[in-house]
Amino acid sequence: MKMMKTPLLLLVFLCVAWAQDVLEYDDYDLDNKISPKPNKTTDGAAVDARGHRPLDRARESYTSRYAPPPISGGSRYRGRPTAAPVGGPKKQEKVPQPESGGCTHASEEMGVLCPTGCELKTTLTKQEKNVKLVIDELKPELDELSQSSNRIFDYVNGMSNSLRERQRLVTDNNQVVVQFTDQVEENHAYIKEVVDTVFPSNIRVLEGVLNKIRQKIQKLETAIQAQREKCKDPCMTKCPIPVVSGKECEDIYRRGGTESQMYMVQPDPLYPPYKAFCDQTTQNGGWLLIQNRLDGSVDFGRRWDEYRRGFGNIAFPASKRHCEIPGEYWLGNERISQLTKTGPTEVLIEMEDWEGTKVHAKYSRFTVQSETSNFVMAVEGYSGNAGNCFLEGSPELFGENRTMTIHNGMMFSTYDRDNDNWNPGDPSKQCAREDGGGWWYNRCHSANPNGRYYIGGPYTKQMAKHGTDDGVVWMNWKGSWYSLKAISMKIKPFFASR
């Protein structure tokens, strides 16, 4: 009964703590926050959290479940009583007879006459037979009497033991009743104190919490109403779409669209056209922007369907009132797959740090398969000065740990669709959930262009949501704990001569 206090207090305090957390938590992050476990290399040395998850050959330790102890207390039986000794009939002691005086026996039992020796023998023999018969008749009765005596002794002894046990139980029960009564009175006093003091205080706290939540709801309703007022008029396009269009940006360039801006592209006439940004100045132009990060204005921690369709802002208007400034966006895996499967395609990845230094990585072949294969990526033919993350992995690692950071041949993963190489099917081991965005994760990465955007460059484990290098990372250039200022991915049809 004493343990009733602790659950009651915990319940009250948890309610208050939960309510106060609701006040301060406006992020409404529904994802499970999974704490990272320390990793080890194959030789046992500890390795800091990077984009990979090092192999640990050690088996997990087995923890035995709690086993209750054997039942203790008084025994149901006591010791057996000592059995009565069993023996034959007692031998009658010979009664010494007094010496005879004349013809009269001194003993009355012998009679008055003085028999001869033969007569005396005959008489004694007859008496002996009679005595034996009587003794034989008495033997069974004597045995039965002995057995009855033993049974009565056992019964009486058992009754005595039962009486003593009942007396002991009565005494113990009286002590338990007294102790239970004391505990009930103590708990009653405690509950009365809680009801009279703690509950009213907590109710006041909860009322304050409720009032603040109501105020927040009112603010949200006011903001929603203001947004509705602003959205009464239909949105107008501030920058017109150029007349020139084509299958992709290289086709648009050859049709005369030589300025870098937003265009309408239609790779397949059976599918509707869509907007995309074309870079017509970098390396002879013709590049279609499939991914762009530059200011952290768009959240890349999206679901599978959003990465499949695409999201973000394609472009913004500039001085010519055309959409000449690219925004942050992901073109969409379906569109990327459609563009790269039409023929040989190359990809250009450009990046910039917070000091203004720019580098690039280029692959002469880049293909993304369809959704039936979970958008598997394949690349080859690296060139550039940023480092070959896709094919070689991170140079900070060695052996199998380095192999785990290679992205070539990986399926696409998001936090709601786990396709990485890190214990598939285990919800506590998901690269996309820990590293901030959808990507072709292995176990886990050497490049993380769709990670969380950190302003300033360097960041720490304490700043990361799960303690992992979840920033906009290109490990082969700046390492795990430097988040880039800008990174973009552009594709164009590959052809040998220009």
**Taking all residues of the chain, what is their mean pLDDT, rounded to a whole number?**
79
Give ∠ CA 303-304-306 in degrees, rounded to 5: 70
Q: Which of 47-51, 112-116, 386-390 has the highest mean pLDDT?
A: 386-390
Q: What are the Cα distances from residue 244, in Å, to 258, 276, 321?
A: 10, 13, 16
pLDDT of residue 51: 44
**From the DSSP assignment, how many helices (H) and strands (E) are in the chain?**
10, 16
Q: Which of 188-192, 332-336, 459-463 has the highest mean pLDDT?
A: 332-336
As to burial, measured by CB atoms within 10 angstroms (0-12 exposed, 13-18 middle, 19+ buried), residue 42 is middle
* Residue 48 binned pLDDT confidence (cut-offs 50, 70, 90): very low
**Tens-place pLDDT, residues 288-345:** 999 999 999 999 999 999 999 999 999 988 766 668 899 999 999 999 999 999 889 9
Rounded to whole angstroms, how far apart are CA atoms 265 and 276? 7
Rounded to whole angstroms, how far apart are CA atoms 263 and 251? 11
Is the separation of the CB atoms in 443 and 53 below 8 Å?
Answer: yes
Among 43-52, 264-273, 402-411, the range scoring the smallest mean pLDDT is 43-52
Q: Which residue has the higher pLDDT, 51 or 309?
A: 309
Residue spans of the domains in the chain: they are 1-23+130-232, 245-493
DSSP string, 73-114: S--S--PPPPPPP---PPPPPPPPPPPPBTTB-SSGGG-SS-
245-493 maps to CATH 3.40.50.300: no
Is the separation of the CB atoms in 329 and 311 below 8 Å?
Answer: yes
> Which secondary structure element, helix H or strand E, spans residue 159, and what is its range?
helix 117-193
Among 93-107, 243-257, 339-353, the range scoring the smallest mean pLDDT is 93-107
Among 35-44, 316-325, 339-348, 441-450, the range scoring the smallest mean pLDDT is 35-44
**Tens-place pLDDT, residues 380-427:** 999 999 999 999 998 888 888 888 999 999 999 999 999 998 877 777
Question: How distant is the alpha carbon of residue 155 from its chain centre?
Answer: 63
pLDDT surpasses 80 at 101: no
Segment 421-445 mean pLDDT:
87
